[in-house]
Amino acid sequence: MGKIYNDEESSLDFVKGKKIVVLGYGNQGRAWALNLRDSGLNVIVGLERKGNSWILAEKDGFEPKYINDAVKDADILIFLLPDMVQREVWEKSIMKNMKEGADMVFAHGFNIHYKLILPPKTSDVYMIAPKGPGNKVREYFEKGGGVPALIAVHQDISGNALNKALAIAKGIGATRPGVIETTFKEETETDLFGEQVILVGGISELMKNSFATLVSKGYQPEVAYFETINEMKMIVDLIYEKGLSGMLRAVSDTAKYGGITVGKDIIDEEVRKRMEKALTRIQNGEFANEWIEEYQRGMKTVKSNLNEVDNSLEEKIGKRLRDLILKGSPK
C-alpha cells in the first residue's frame, strides 16, 4: 500500500518565498493559482496569449505575463496546460528561458513518462495529481476541505523534491484529506486505463449499447434512457458514498440478484482480455504515439465521434428528459 501523507506531515516552508509560476489558467490552472495564493504563496500566472484566460486571471487579481517572460526568474514552474500543448510550449517558450535549477511540477505524468518533455538534469521534477476537476479543487478548498491527490518524484536533485511536492499539495488543499505517494509511470498508466476502459470509454459504450438494445426491441426511447443512462448517476452516487457493497445493499433484492448474476456474464473473460490489451497499448507507448498523431492531424477522430454522439437518438432523448428532470428538481 502506498504511503499516505496528511496536513501534519507537510509544510509550506519548503516553497515559501519562492516565485511560483502557474502555466495555464484553465480548469486546474485557475484553481491551483487561487488556492496557492490564498495559502500565502507567491504566484504568477503565465500564459501564451492575451485571451479569455488572461482576462479572467486579471479579474481574479493576477497580473499575468507571457510564458517566456514569466519563467525567466521563476523558482517553480507548474505545468497546467493541456497535455498535448505542453511539449510545444516547452520547446518554444520555456526551455531556453527558464532559470537553471527551477523546479518542474506536473498534474499528470504523460509528458514526462512518455519523454515528450526531457527536463534539465539540474531541475527537481515532481507531480501533484488531484483526483478531481479544478472546480472541485477550488470549491473544496474554499469550504475548508480538499480534493485528495497523488504525488510522485521523477527527479530529486535538491534532496527536497518530496517535501516541496507535499508543500504544493498542502497549498492547494490536497493534504487536508491526504495524498498518496506513487510514480509518474503508475499515475500515467492507471489514469489513461481508467479513462479508456471505464470512466469515459467503457461506461459510455455500455450505456449506448444497452439503450440501443432496448430501443431496437420496440421499447420507448424515453423509458430506455431512464433505465440505461439517467439512473447511472444514482448508482455511481451510491458507490461514491457507500462503496460497491453499500450500493448492493441499498438497491432492491431483485436488482442485487440480477446484477450479480448477469453482470458477470456481460463483463466476461473476453472483455477482461480486451482490457488487458488496452493496458498493454498504454504501457508500451502505442496509445501515446497514436494520440500524438491524432492531435497533430487536428483531432479528426475526436471531432467526428463527438458529432456522431451529438446527433444520436440517446442524446436527443436525453436533452429532452434532462429538461424535465431540471424542472422537477428542488430549487
| Residues annotated as part of the active site | 108
Report whether 211 contacts 224 (CB < 8 A). Answer: yes
CA atoms within 13 A on the CB side of 104: 25
Angle between helices 269-283 and 184-194 (to 10 degrees): 140
Neighbours of 92 (CB within 10 A): 13
Tell which residue, 109, 124, 128, 108, has the closest CA to residue 171. 128
CA atoms within 13 A on the CB side of 167: 20
125-130 and 149-155 beta bridge pairing: antiparallel
Report whether 320 contacts 225 (CB < 8 A). Answer: no
Phi/psi-derived region of residue 31, left when phi > 0, alpha when psi is between -120 and 50, beta in every other case: alpha
Binding-site residue ranges for Mg(2+) = 191, 195, 227, 231
Instruction: Report the C-alpha gap between 50 and 34 in whole angstroms.
Output: 19
Tell which residue, 121, 108, 195, 181, has the closest CA to residue 151. 181
Binding-site residue ranges for NADP(+) = 25-28, 53, 134
Binding-site residue ranges = 25-28, 53, 134, 191, 195, 227, 231, 252
Binding-site residue ranges for substrate = 252
DSSP SS3 for 4 = strand
Radius of gyration of the chain (CA): 22
